[in-house]
């Protein structure tokens, strides 16, 4: 198969705060002109790089806010997150776990540092992705997938190279447990020093990776340090990732949704009229109720 080359290596953009509990680098869509269309169906990537939070009696986070038209995927690497939504869903995202929330036709949501973890404080690191929904599914019912680290598929690499956790899609015949509305691969590559992994995705799939820990070399040539994003060209299929030290890499690849994107704040639809309708429905209480 043909090699897939790098289009861009992006250093972390200046961080900003989401609420008072999430200090994030926004790679998509703000950083480096990676607009929603370029990485669709991945239309937002917020990365809370490692940050030490002091102990707090009142958990920090984000209060009640709405979503419509997409899914939020929250991956906890360090620390613990507590969340609730207007459908009655909620729970705790522990280290290594994933919360996959389908907002679809509308949901209210809030998320904070988990209460007991907050009292102790500590190192916090997480990723939140927004995954676009096809037009036919944007007004489907909200749902929630709680994916513990133990539930994930695991592909053990040869030569003590490490392993690949499969959140969604597949890798080397191992399937992820997440259900998706369009073809998506979401993987955590946990590589030992010198460990090397081969990845292959269809050329038209929008593909990127984020180095969360350590440092890697792509295709035996391009060195990428921690907290940097790699965007791949849409030419070729295969690329390799080799760890220069013990490393964790989030790999994402998805079939693009070739549909118009109309986005405003927490709503991502296909037309301006649908955005206006989303605001009207929210103001009329059609997203349900959630206490702040």
The candidate with the shortest Cα–Cα distance to 49, out of 226, 190, 233, is: 226
pTM of the model: 0.96
Q: What is the pLDDT of residue 289?
A: 86
pLDDT above 90 for 88: no
Q: Which residues pair with 52 in a beta bridge?
A: 123
pLDDT at position 292 = 78
As a whole-number percent, the residues of the chain with pLDDT over 90 amount to 92
- pLDDT tens for each residue of 57-80: 999 999 999 999 999 999 999 999
pLDDT at 189 exceeding the cut of 60: yes
The reported pLDDT for the residue numbered 34 is 62
Rounded Cα distance, 195 and 190, in Å: 9
What integer is the mean pLDDT of 72-90? 93
Contact yes or no for 192/163 (Cβ under 8 A): no
Helix (H, G, I), strand (E, B) or coil at 48: strand
**pLDDT at residue 62, rounded to an integer:** 96
Under the banding of pLDDT at 50, 70 and 90, the label for residue 291 is confident
290 pLDDT above the threshold of 90 = no
Could you give the CA distance from residue 217 to residue 242 in angstroms, rounded to a whole number?
5
Low-confidence winner among 17-21, 22-26, 287-291 (lowest mean pLDDT): 287-291
**What are the Cα distances from residue 160, in Å, to 65, 76, 155, 166, 191?**
44, 25, 12, 18, 9
Contact 40, 206 (CB under 8 A): yes
Q: 207 exposed, middle or buried (CB, 10 Å; 0-12, 13-18, 19+)?
A: buried
Domains of the chain, earliest start first: 15-254 (2.60.120.10)
Q: What does the mean pLDDT of the chain come to?
A: 95
* pLDDT (tens digit per residue) in 228-285: 999 999 999 999 999 999 999 999 999 999 999 999 999 999 999 999 999 999 999 9
Rounded Cα distance between 95 and 114, Å, is: 11
pLDDT of 32 higher than 80 = no
Token pair for residue 93?
A: 């995202």
Q: pLDDT tens digit string along 233-245?
A: 999 999 999 999 9
Which residues are CB-neighbours of 115 under 8 A, at least 6 positions away?
59, 82
- Give yes or no for residue 31 having a pLDDT over 80: no
Kindly state the tokens that stand for 182: 């369009």
Give the DSSP H or E segment for 280.
helix 272-283
Please report which helix (H) or strand (E) contains residue 283, including its range.
helix 272-283
Residue 15 pLDDT grade (very low, low, confident, very high; cuts 50, 70, 90) = very high
Sign of the C-alpha dihedral computed for residues 84, 85, 88 and 89 taken in this order: negative
Task: Please tell me the predicted confidence (pLDDT) of residue 73.
Answer: 97
Q: Tell me the mean pLDDT in the region 182-204.
A: 98
Half-sphere exposure of 201 toward its Cβ, with a 13 Å CA cutoff? 29
């Amino acid at each position: 198969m043909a090699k897939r080359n790098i289009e861009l290596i992006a250093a972390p953009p200046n961080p900003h705060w989401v609420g008072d509990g999430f200090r994030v680098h926004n790679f998509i869509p703000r950083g480096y002109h990676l607009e929603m269309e370029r990485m669709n169906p991945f239309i937002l990537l917020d990365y809370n790089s490692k940050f030490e939070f002091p102990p707090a009696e009142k958990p920090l986070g984000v209060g009640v806010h709405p979503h419509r038209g997409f899914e939020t995927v929250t991956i906890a690497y360090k620390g613990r997150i507590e969340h609730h939504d207007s459908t009655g869903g909620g729970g705790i995202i522990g280290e290594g776990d994933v919360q996959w929330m389908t907002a679809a036709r509308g949901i209210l949501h809030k998320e904070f540092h988990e209460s007991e973890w907050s009292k102790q404080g500590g190192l916090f690191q997480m990723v939140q992705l927004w995954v676009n929904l096809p037009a036919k599914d944007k007004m489907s019912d909200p749902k929630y997938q709680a994916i513990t680290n133990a539930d994930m598929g695991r592909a053990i690499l040869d030569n003590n190279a490490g392993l690949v956790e499969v959140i969604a899609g597949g890798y080397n015949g191992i399937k992820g447990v997440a259900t998706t509305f369009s073809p998506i691969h979401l993987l955590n590559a946990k590589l030992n020093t010198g460990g090397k992994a081969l990845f292959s995705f269809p050329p038209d799939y929008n593909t990127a990776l984020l180095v969360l820990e350590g440092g890697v070399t792509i295709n035996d040539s391009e060195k990428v340090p921690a907290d940097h994003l790699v965007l791949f060209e849409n030419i070729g299929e295969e690329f390799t990732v080799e760890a220069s030290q013990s490393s964790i890499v989030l790999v994402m690849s998805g079939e693009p949704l070739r549909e118009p994107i109309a986005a405003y704040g927490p709503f991502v639809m296909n037309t301006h009229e649908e955005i206006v309708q989303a605001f009207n429905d929210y103001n009329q209480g059609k997203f349900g109720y959630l206490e702040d």
